[in-house]
Amino acid sequence: MMAPTYLGAIMAFDSFEADVVGVPVDALARLLQDGLRPKLLYTIPEHQNPTGLTLSRERREALVALCRRYHVLVLEDVAYRELGFDGEQLPSLWSLAPDVVVQAGTFSKIFFPGVRLGWAAGPASVIARMAIAKQNTDQCAGALGQRLLEEYVRGGHLDDQLVRSRALYARRCAAMMAALEAHMPDHVTWTRPRGGFFTWVETGVDTVALAARAAAAKVAYVPGAPFHPGTGAGSALRLSFSRVADDEIDEGVRRLADLITTASEEP
Ligand SMILES: Cc1ncc(COP(=O)(O)O)c(C=O)c1O
């Protein structure tokens, strides 16, 4: 099934030998009706990694209603929630259904990843067990990092930085969209994110095979396949606009477009 999601989550679930099934958003109702009974539903409602897509308000409401009805615990990953380009936010799943949703957030994308801090909110019984699991895993998050973050937030710096981050990523995303429009061959399609770091490109060619040629041309991307539990999407790739300097985006996309054009013409 075509339902890419965050690779780190797939790997974490796999490490507990979970049976991970990718479910396209609109297929969930049917699958539950047909007897699928997941212990947990993992989703990234905003500016998803890897597609950059955001769950609409209607789908949020339908999703939590379904999960409540079938007693499925939802794990909402809000890693990119604060990074909407227009600053607008839809209600979080947790705010819609605090009885069936655990919200997990990270400061990696809005403070810095090395600090290794995040948070979780959800039903008290689940959070109590998560607290024990965390303590058994790392004893405790580092105090120095927690104090750094506390000072940063209390001083109002996080709020100021978010304004700058949104503007930076919005600008780079616009540059990438313009470059894709200008250079990609007609058969290639991509998502148009309204926040976050990524766009998801359907190329029509094998993106694992193409990666070595792209690296030789000094263009890096992540092939789509590993974002699928099991197999899938061999022709998709994830492009990240967050870290590339503004003046390198057009040239990078142009080189990638040339490689895709050449690969699509090969027998
Ligand atoms: C959706 C999503 N969740 C979580 C994380 C990881 O966050 P952390 O650095 O806190 O492990 C990432 C980072 O790539 C991500 O894309």
Q: Which atom of ligand 1 is nearest to the CA of 113?
A: 9
Give the rounded distance of the alpha carbon of 220 from its chain centre.
18
Q: What is the pLDDT along the chain (267 residues), one digit of tens a residue?
A: 458 999 999 999 999 999 999 888 789 999 999 999 999 999 999 999 999 999 999 999 999 999 999 999 999 999 999 999 997 899 999 999 999 999 999 999 999 999 999 999 999 999 999 999 999 999 999 999 999 999 999 999 999 999 999 999 999 999 999 999 999 999 999 999 999 999 999 999 999 999 999 999 999 999 999 998 876 659 999 999 999 999 999 999 999 999 999 999 987
pLDDT in tens, 68-105: 999 999 999 999 999 999 978 999 999 999 999 999 99
According to DSSP, residue 114 is labeled: G
**What are the φ/ψ torsions at residue 59 (nearest 5 degrees)?**
-70, -35
- Pocket of ligand 1 contains residue 117 by CB under 6 Å: no
Strand-pair partners of 74 = 41, 101
106 lines ligand 1 (CB under 6 A): yes
Count of beta carbons in the 10 Å neighbourhood of residue 204: 15
For residue 106, the CA-to-ligand 1 centroid distance in Å is 7
Q: How many other C-beta atoms are found inside a 10 Å radius of the C-beta of residue 212?
A: 9
Contact in structure between 211 and 221 (CB atoms under 8 Å)? yes
Q: Is the CB of 242 under 6 A from ligand 1?
A: no
Locate the ligand 1 atom nearest the alpha carbon of residue 80 and give its number: 1
For residue 195, what are the contacts with CB-CB under 8 A and spacing of at least 6? Answer: 46, 47, 52, 54, 80, 83, 84, 85, 166, 169
Residue 11 CA to ligand 1 center (angstroms) comes to 12
Distance 132 CA to ligand 1 centre (A): 21
Ligand 1 pocket, mutate which of 53, 103, 109, 169 (most atoms under 8 A from CB) = 109
What pLDDT, on the 0 to 100 scale, is given for residue 182? 98
How far out from the chain centre does Cα 48 lie?
A: 3
Model pTM? 0.95
Confirm or reject: Cβ of 113 under 6 Å from ligand 1: yes
Neighbours of 150 (CB within 10 A): 10
Residue 116 Cα: closest atom of ligand 1: 10
CA–CA dist 236, 51 (Å, integer): 10
pLDDT value of position 88: 85
Going by their DSSP bridges, the two strands 73-77 and 189-190 should be labelled as: unpaired
* Residue nearest (by alpha carbon) to ligand 1 atom 10: 106
In ligand 1, the atom with minimum distance to the C-alpha of 197 is 16
Q: Which atom of ligand 1 is nearest to the CA of 107?
A: 10
CA-closest candidate to residue 255, choices 263, 266, 245: 263
The CB density around residue 110, as the number of other CB atoms within 10 Å, is: 16
At residue 19, the pLDDT reads: 92
Q: What is the pLDDT of residue 1?
A: 42
Amino acid at 110: I
- Ligand 1 centre to CA of 75 (Å) is 13
CA of 258 to the centre of ligand 1 (A): 31
| Ligand 1 contact, 78 CB (< 6 A) | no
The tokens for 145 are 């990092």
